[in-house]
Amino acid sequence: LRDSSDFSFSSQTHNRYDSPFSLQHYLNMCVCVCSASSSDEEKESRKKQVRPLFRHFRRIDACLQPREAFRGSDEIFCRVYTPDHSYVTIRSRLSCRVGEILALVKEKLQYSEDQPVLPGNLILVAVTSAGEKAVFRPSDEAVFTTLGVNTHLFACEPSELDSLLPLPEEIHWTPGDSKLHDMSAEEVANQLVVFDWELFSCVHEVEFVCYVFHGEQSRWRPLNLELVLQRCSEVQHWVATEILQCQSLPKRIQLLRKFIKIAALCKQQQDLLSFLAVVLGLDNPAVSRLRLTWEVGRRVFSSRGDPSRNHKSYRDLITSLRPPLIPFTPLLLKDLTFLHESCKTFHGELVNFEKMHKVAEMVRNIRRYRSSQLAMDTETSPSHLQTKAYVRQLQVIDNQNLLFDMSCKLEPKDT
C-alpha cells in the first residue's frame, strides 16, 4: 500500500498545495527535517530557517486545501530511491529534465554519510508495484506526473537495473476493516464529486488536444490532464482494494452495496468520472469473480455502466445533462484519438478542415461542461473533514496479480 498524501507545492513558490491523491499515483513526497541541535540557540535558528519552507506540509493541511492547476515552474519535493531502498529527497521544478534530476540526486549522494562509494553514471527508472521498469531518457521532462499510483523513481547505475525491486510495502497487504464502514455513502460521494470538479477545473482545453495530437513531441506535458487520468485509475483500484481487504463476507457485501450506492449518487450529481471509475472497479476481474459476495448485488449493478455499442448509454446520458458536469475523461481522449488516427493518412484540405471542425466542437463541449460552477462544500465538522481527507488520500493496491491472489484467498476457485 502506498499513501499519496505527501505531495504538495513549495510554500515559497505559491503558498498552496497539490492534492494528496495527485501523485499517489506517482510520487512519494516528503520533507526533510534537520536533526536537533544541542544548542538552544542553534535549534531556534534552524527552526526559523525551516518554517517558511515547510510549515504547510502537514498531511492533513495539504489534503484539505483546494486543488489548483499545475504549472511547469511549480516546485516539488520528491523522494528518489536507490537499489537498497534508501532515498534522497530533492527539490525540483515540475517540468525539470531527467538530467537535472539525476544531477541533484548525485549531489545529494556525494554528501551522504551512508554512501561509501561516489555514484557513477546514473539512470532514472520508474518501478511499479508489479516490478515493471521504465528507463527515462536524460531529455525527458515532467516525469513526475507520468508515474502510476504506486510507482516510484529509482536512481541507479545501468548495471544495477535488473536488481531493482518494488518497495516492500508495495508487495504486502494487511487484511482489515475499511474506514468506509463508518462513513455514509452520501458523504463519500459528495467528496468524490467536489474533488473531481477541482481536478477537472484545472485542466485547460488545450491539454486534451496536446495529449492526443502531440504526445511526447509537445514542448510541455498536459500535467493536469495526466493527473485526472491517474485519479480515474486510482478510484478503480480503491474500490477493488477496499473490497478485497475485507475478510468478513457480510461486511464485504455491505461494502459492495455501499459502492453501488456511491456510483449511483455520483451519477445523480453528474460526476461521470467517479461514476464510471467505481463501476470499472467493481468490474475488476479480482472483484467480479467473488461469487458469494456478488449473489446479492449482481442485479443492481448490471444496469450501471453499459459499455456496449461504443458506450451508447453514456453518450446518450451526457448529451442530456446540463452543466456543471464532469465527463469520463478517458472516453473523451479515446474519441479524440480515433479522430486523429482516422485522418492521419489523408492530406486533403477538406478532410483536415472537417477534422479541425470536430476537434473544435469537442473543445467547445469541454468548455460547456464547466460553464456553470459546481456548488462547493463548506462544512467543517470533524466527521466531514475526516471523510474529505480520506477521499483525497486513497490508499490502494494497483498490482493486479496481488489483487487476484487476495481474491482467491477470500473465495478459492473450488468454492
Mean local confidence (pLDDT), 319-342: 89
CATH number attached to the domain at 60-170: 3.10.20.90
Cβ neighbours, 10 Å, residue 140: 17
CA distances from 89 to 134, 195, 308 (A): 21, 28, 47
Of 226, 235, 282, 223, the residue nearest 258 (C-alpha): 282
Mean local confidence (pLDDT), 4-19: 33
Highest-scoring range by mean pLDDT, 79-88, 232-241, 292-301, 393-402: 232-241
Cell numbers for 292 = 458469494
Of 115, 48, 131, 45, the residue nearest 82 (C-alpha): 115
Q: What is the pLDDT of residue 219?
A: 52
CATH number attached to the domain at 179-410: 1.10.840.10
Digit-coded pLDDT (tens) for 344-402: 555 555 556 777 788 889 999 999 999 999 887 778 888 899 999 999 989 899 999 99
Q: What is the pLDDT of residue 16?
A: 32
Q: 35 CB contacts (<8 Å, ≥6 apart)?
A: none
Parse the chain into domains and list their residue ranges: 60-170, 179-410
